[in-house]
Structure 1
Amino acid sequence: MTDSKELNQNRPLFGKFADGADSRRCCDNAPSVCKANNTLSGAADITAEVLRTTLPPHARRAINRCNLPADALASLAFQLGPQALELDGVLPLHRTLFERLDELTAVVDRAALFQSYMTAHFMLDDAPALGLSDNARINRSKLDYLRLLRGWLFDSEGREGAILKAWVESRFGLLTGFHRRPIPAADSPEREAFDREVATGLYTTCALETQLDLLYAWAQYELGRRNPGISHLTLYRGYSGAAALPLLDELGNGHSLVQLNNLSSFSASRERADEFGDRVLACAVPLAKVLAFSQLLPGRLQGEDEYLVIGGVAAVSWLN
C-alpha cells in the first residue's frame, strides 16, 4: 500500500516540469493516438503550481493499493508525464500468464488465453468448488468481470458501475464524485446509499475485485502491445449542463482544467461522443488510466470504441 506521506519519494513526477522542461509535445499523424499530450497545444504556459494541481483531500484517500499515491496519480503533472501504474502484487502473482502472452502475436489468441486463465484461476465455471450452491437464497456466482464490463457499457450508473467505481476507490484512492447523483461527502446519505449498493453487488461473488485487478493489468499489457511507443490516446466525451463537470481553472485558448469522476466513459469517436451531450471535450488520456475498452475482448463486448477511464485532474479542450 502507498501512503500519501510517501509523495516526496515520487517528486520526479513533478520535477520533470517544474524546471521548465517542455510539457507540451507533438501528436503523431493518427487522429486518436498521441505519442504524448497534445491537449495543451496552443494553451498558455503552464506554471509548476498549476502542474501540481490535484484532487482535494476530500476527493481521495490517503492510502491506496498501487505504486503511486492518489494525489500524484490524480494530478495534472501525471496526465502530462504519466508513469506505469501497478497494483500491489498482481504482476508477480500472475507472471506465468504474461510470459505466455508474450509468445502470442494475434490479439484474438491473447484474448482467448486471458479468458481461459481467468476461468481456471477463479473457477468461474465451477460454482460448487467455490462453496456456492444452486439452492442458495442469492446466487451471484455468474457476476464476473465480463458481466461487470457489459453492465457498464449498458448503463454506467447501474449496480455494475457502482462496483467498478468502488474498485477504483480501493485500488487508486480516487473517491466517487458522481453515481446517478453527486456524492458530496463521506457521511452523506448519497454516500451511504452508494456504499450499500456496492456491498450488495459484491455479496457472494467470486473475488470480483481481484478479477478486476488482473483485468486492469492485462488491459495495460494489451495497450502496450497494440500501441508501442505511445503514451496517450485522444478520447472524447459528451456533457450536458454547465455544472456537469467541475471546472478548476481556465488555461486559455479553449483549454480548461477539470475534475473527472473517478471512472468515466470516453469514446475514440468524436461523432459518437456528440450523441451524449450538448458539448464535447477532447482529452489526452494516459494509457495508464485506461481500465478497459470495448475492443479489449474481440467479439465479447459491445460498444462504440468506448474506453473506461480512471479519473483525476485533467486538461481538456472543448470542441463546441
Structure 2
Amino acid sequence: MAEPTKHHKACEDTDNETAAPSIPAHARQSINHCSLPADILGGLEYQRHPIPLEIDGVRELHAQLFERLDIEGAAEERARQFTAYMSACFSLEHPEEAGLSGRKRRHATYLRVIRGWSFDSDGREAAALKGWVESRFGLLARYHVDALRDEDEDAYRHYAQARAAGLYGTNAMEAQLDLLYAYTQYEFARRQPGTRHLRLYRGVSRVREHEIVARLDRRHAVLLLNNLNSFTATRERADEFGDYILSTDVPVAKVVFSSDLLPGKLQGEDEYMVIGGLYEVELAWH
C-alpha cells in the first residue's frame, strides 16, 4: 500500500486554513446509510480532518467474520477467509441456492463488478457502483458517459437505466459491496494503524471536465470529484492516463477498495477506488 502522507499543507497545516467550502446541495442527498451525513463527508473539511466511516449495521451483522480476522496475523490468510466468507454468505459459488436462475446474472458478484469498473468506468457495473455510493454515502454521481446535471436530461436517464441493469438479478449486490468496504477499512486499520491519508494520483486528459469549485493558485484548486473515482499510488502510472496529473491526499476512510487487498483476484495492484466529494488537489502537466 502507499506510504502515509507526511507533509501536505492542505491536510496537515491548519494554522492558516480558510473556511473550507461545503459540498453543493445539488451534489448530495439529504439521507444516507453511514455514520456521517453527506454534507460533512463530502466537504473539504472532511478531507482535511477525516474520521472513520461505517455503513450502518455492517460490522454488527457480520461480527463473526471480523472476530475471525482479529485472531489472524497474516494478511494473506485474512484475504482468504474474507473471500470464503463472502462466497458462503452470498452463495456466490451456488447462486441457485439463493434463488437465482438463468445464465446472464448468475456470476454477477462483487469481484465481477470491481473488474467491470476497472475495464470501463462508464459501464453497467460502474453505474451500479456509483448507485451504491449514492445510497450508502449520499454523494450523487456527477458523470457517467456524460455530465449528470438534471434528472430530466437523457444523460441521467441513461445512467439510471444502467444503474438498475447493473443491480438487476444479482444476489444482494449492494450488501456485498457494503461488506467489501468494511473489510477494506478493517485491513487499512490493521496494516497502517493511525494513518489518515494516502497520497494518490489521477491522470486526466482535460482538467476543465472536472467541476472546479475554487482556484487557489496556478497549481492548486478545489475540485468536486465524481462520487466514485480511480486513483493510483504511483505518479508514473497516472501519467499513462492523461496529460494532467491530479495529486491529492485521500482520506483512508474514502477508499472503497484497493486491489492489493485480495492478491491474485484482480489486476491493477496499485489502483484505488475512491469516494468523491470536494478535494484540494495539486495540478501538474507533462
TMscore range, shorter length:
over 0.9
Q: Which residue of 1 aligns with 2:17?
A: 46
Which amino acid in the other structure matches residue 75 of structure 1? G
Q: Which residue of 2 aligns with 1:128?
A: 96
Of residues 30, 49, 60, the one that matches 1:92 is 60
Which amino acid in the other structure matches residue 182 of structure 1? A
Of residues 220, 227, 230, the one that matches 2:192 is 227
Structure 1 residue runs of 5 or longer lacking an equivalent are: 1-29
TM-score by length of 1: 0.85
CA deviation profile, 1:49-80 (whole Å, cap 9, x unmatched): xx1x1221111100100111100000110001
TM-superposed deviation, 1:107: 1.1
Distance 1:270 1:112 in 2: 30
**Per the alignment, do residues 279 and 109 of structure 1 end up closer, same or farther by CA in structure 2, a change over 3 Å counting?**
same
CA deviation profile, 1:270-297 (whole Å, cap 9, x unmatched): 0100111111011000000000011010
TM-superposed deviation, 1:119: 0.7
Which amino acid in the other structure matches residue 143 of structure 2? F
CA deviation profile, 1:187-207 (whole Å, cap 9, x unmatched): 221111111111112111100
Aligned length: 285
Which amino acid in the other structure matches residue 157 of structure 2? E
Q: Which residue of 1 aligns with 2:152?
A: 187
Shifted more, 182-191 versus 270-279: the winner is 182-191
Q: Which residue of 2 aligns with 1:307?
A: 272
Distance 2:215 2:276 in 1: 19
Distance 1:274 1:39 in 2: 23
Question: Given the alignment of the two structures, is residue 33 of structure 1 paired with residue 1 of structure 2, yes or no?
Answer: no
Of residues 85, 88, 98, the one that matches 1:117 is 85
Distance 2:127 2:267 in 1: 19
TM-score by length of 2: 0.94
- Rg larger in structure: 1
**Per the alignment, do residues 42 and 228 of structure 1 end up closer, same or farther by CA in structure 2, a change over 3 Å counting?**
closer
SS in 1 for 2:112: helix
Of residues 39, 44, 51, the one that matches 1:71 is 39
Question: Given the alignment of the two structures, is residue 55 of structure 1 paired with residue 23 of structure 2, yes or no?
Answer: yes
Q: Which residue of 1 aligns with 2:123?
A: 158
Distance 1:41 1:126 in 2: 49
**Per the alignment, do residues 157 and 293 of structure 1 end up closer, same or farther by CA in structure 2, a change over 3 Å counting?**
same
Q: Which residue of 2 aligns with 1:140?
A: 105
Q: Which residue of 2 aligns with 1:260?
A: 225
Computed over aligned residues only, the root mean square deviation of the Cα atoms, in angstroms, reads: 2.0
Of residues 236, 246, 255, the one that matches 1:281 is 246
TM-superposed deviation, 1:251: 2.3
Contact 2:110 2:173 in 1 (8 A): yes
- Give the % identical residues: 49
Of residues 213, 233, 237, the one that matches 2:178 is 213
Contact 2:10 2:48 in 1 (8 A): no
Distance 2:188 2:44 in 1: 22
Contact 2:199 2:250 in 1 (8 A): yes
